Structure 1
Amino acid sequence: MSSQLSSFQNSTPKLLGRKRSPTERIVPSEEESSSGSEESVVAMVKEMDTETTEARDKLIYECRLLLERDESNTLNKEFHRRYLDSPFSHPLPPGMVALDASAPWLLYWIANGLRTMNQSWLKTETQYRIQEKVFRVNPHGGPFGGGLGQLPHLAGTYAIVNALAICDNVEGCWDKINRTSIYDWLLSLKREDGGFQTCLGVGEYDTRGIYCAISIASMLGLLTQELCENVVEFLIHCQNYEGGFGGVPHEDEAHGGYTFCAVASLAILGALDRIDVEKLTDWCSQRQYNDEKGLSGRSNKLVDVCYSFWVGGTAAILEAYGYGNCINKAELKEYILKCCQMETRPGIRDKPGTRPDFYHTNYGLLGVAITENSFQLDPRVSNSLKIDSFIINPIDNSVLEPINPVYGLPSSDLEKFYKHFK
């Protein structure tokens, strides 16, 4: 064993991404630890100290300091409002030019964060500017790319449809969406195995592409049997032995983002009963750590506030379907509000030691909204999920708009948008 370890350590510099060799740590048994004799210590268990384990030890320490503070769990909404208002009134810094293709996402994250905190904070003037920007990207009403001259992409189209959904149909913007063109484009991205390419000819395919396609189609009233053929089967085979879902079928690693995309898509298609829900709820529960109280996206990874929605939203969907509550909402809220807010900077960060950004601010706020409510389907509605069939009940002093966990949008906005096309 020692010769194998030595050989492994000598070869590690050749491995891409590895900065240093792991450190061997001997963990004695309980009896040996209590004896106090160094000579009696026998290597019963050998663990490896890695950058990840050291990072988590440091993170646990930082989280404990923050969690033990006497301050109450209060969302500093006015502080975060300043952060989210700024991009609509000031040019973004030059360093963010790399996000050019992510402009639709920026519109959605920032506008949705404001809307989730307070319906009136997304001003009519801003809604008008959003729809003006969107239809400059594609004057014909979709499908949409990341910016001018860029190929249409499922992620960009999903983000733009979401951004328009919270714009109250200003300037009749909802009727400017070219549903026929978008539907034909979605069909062109469809694969025989049920997957969707994210971009025609050059895009990858995984559960994210399916969710974007199914979400867009359901919101715009475009779900057809042809569009949904083999989609459920593709998703079923993405659930692996851990209980979560990977990006593609057959034993890809379970991941919080992929899992949400798969579960939300199955909910829309009315097929949650075709997966192993018990293993899925176990996997979601295992993503919440006792020390930090937040959620991680994969096994043996650090907590990140965005999984308050990707995993927390998955848990909320399962709760709505009567499978119980598989995360501790009170502790998750404590992690978000005590560990991911800063007194000196507005916005929400992913964990202590990092800086706030628009992505984590939006999904952190959605996570808080999930912790403040319970979810159930309207008993009068059966079979597949209807967007306006959620019953959302406050379980805390709610300070945010109720959100639909399948779509990551305020429930009232989603209902109006859905009914417009229904």
Structure 2
Amino acid sequence: MNGAGIDYRTVFQALPGAAALLTRDLVYADANKAYLSLAGRTHEQIIGRYLFDVFPDNPNNPAATGVRNLGASLRRVVQSGEPDTMALQRYDVEHSDRPGVWEERYWSPVNVPVFGPDGSVALLLHRVEEVTELIRARGGRAAGDRARVLEAELYTRARELQEVNERLRQAHAREREVALHLQEAMLPAPRPLGHHLAAVRYRPAMGALNVCGDWYDLIDRPGGGSTAVAVGDVVGHGLRAAGVMGLLRSALSAASLVAAGPAQALEVLGLYARSVHGAESTTAASVFIDWNAHTLTYSSAGHPPPLLRHPDATVTFLDQATDPPLGARPEHTTRPQAGVAFTAGSVLVLYTDGLIERRREDIDAGLARLAASITRHGAEDPERIADTLLADLVPPAGLTDDTALIVIRL
């Protein structure tokens, strides 16, 4: 076998180490021969079954913490997308053909995420090394007694740690709720732009700790002939990021009322950001729409490029005026600005990176997905376009970063 002709299933089965594949819900998807031998189970007794139905806790021995520790490790891998190497674990394993008879085993597990095409965790690779004989050889019964005492102490400490983690989880959940309310209060409600239709969306990331500082803004400029549209993204999470977001959104909104163009508005915002703790490396994109001249003037501070969908379904990314994020340069400099004409019926889309970026994937892949979706659905009204973009681009596992989105029919 060579190159693309490798039969990876055969390789998996031939591995000398015990390994199993589990779904995100901890259901066995596959197991190699070494794992089945180690577990004392057949393929039919494992595949398609929940991990802890196959290996339940020993109800007679609360000191055997291996099963619950394994569950915590696997769920950490699902949430974080990072491998987890566990310390040596003691398990009580029930004999498959003798219910109620338990055997003391010592296993050293490693749990590794397997990513799907969208960058989310699709499977878990669970590898186990058997060290029971080594433990027994190093002291027999006396060592076993010491191990049991240690396990009991570890169990107590684990319970205490679980209680602390639960209190932290509740505190973070309260913080997330407050931050979401704060964001909703500071982000403007959708409103008509004359006879032009617009839709806005804000979607928080999945997970209790992922409230971020994304924002959007639409403001009619004096004179009634132009509108300033902007999106931005503050680095960080939680209440502090939400607070910084509110300050920067308000500052950019005020600057956009008097600035000659979007570049000047971002220059003012950059100067202001230097006095705001936590505003470093914030990205933002600003577009001024001239309704009478049918032109868009735009500038970007390290932000993904806005998108213009023309009536003939072709797409242009507004990427000719990109500069570093706020505060990235030690001294103030003039920011670039570019312009493009638009035809009535075109669609303008501004968004934050949560819509297009995926872990371990080049950003160009996300931009291509966005362009393909707006090409297919850009003839619809902005509300439907906004919903469709989210449906097409948000991965099945949910967003890993907040997302702000503006869709305007020009």
> If the length of structure 1 is used for normalisation, what is the TM-score?
0.25
Higher helix content, 1 or 2: 1
> Which structure ranks higher in relative contact order (CA pairs < 8 Å, sequence separation ≥ 6)?
1
Q: Which protein shows a greater Rg? A: 2
